[in-house]
Amino acid sequence: MSRKQWVIFSILIWAACSPQPPAPDVDINTMKVIIWDLMKADEYVLNVRHRDSSENIKPVLAQYQATVYQLHNIAEADFKKAYKQYAENPVLMKELYDSVQAVSQRRSRAQIIPTSPKIN
């Protein structure tokens, strides 16, 4: 084996054996539900509660976000840490937001498609 081949082989082995990023602290199923609820809270505050453009919405938004964290028994700092872990891994982040989008689409379809009446 030539020296050049040896160097390339060594680099490939080193890259393959490099440590993988650790799994996020919060699993993807929990994260998608928390993100979905945070998105709903944001939409509610921005579209329903925020009628007066001179009103500062940051405290109201923070209150709703705190309620979501409390509902899911997670501290804001823990959520942000887990979110950062997902953000540092693009594959996991894509999977997370694809899951959130799937939840959104399922909920939208459930609201649009009425159940058909039973015909005897």
CB atoms within 10 A of CB 109: 9
Range of weakest confidence among 32-41, 98-107, 109-118: 109-118
> Which is more confidently placed, 110 or 7?
110
Chain segment 21-78, per-residue pLDDT in tens: 666 778 889 999 999 999 999 988 888 766 767 778 888 889 999 999 999 999 999 9
Rounded to an integer, what distance in angstroms lies between the CA atom of residue 103 and that of residue 32? Answer: 8
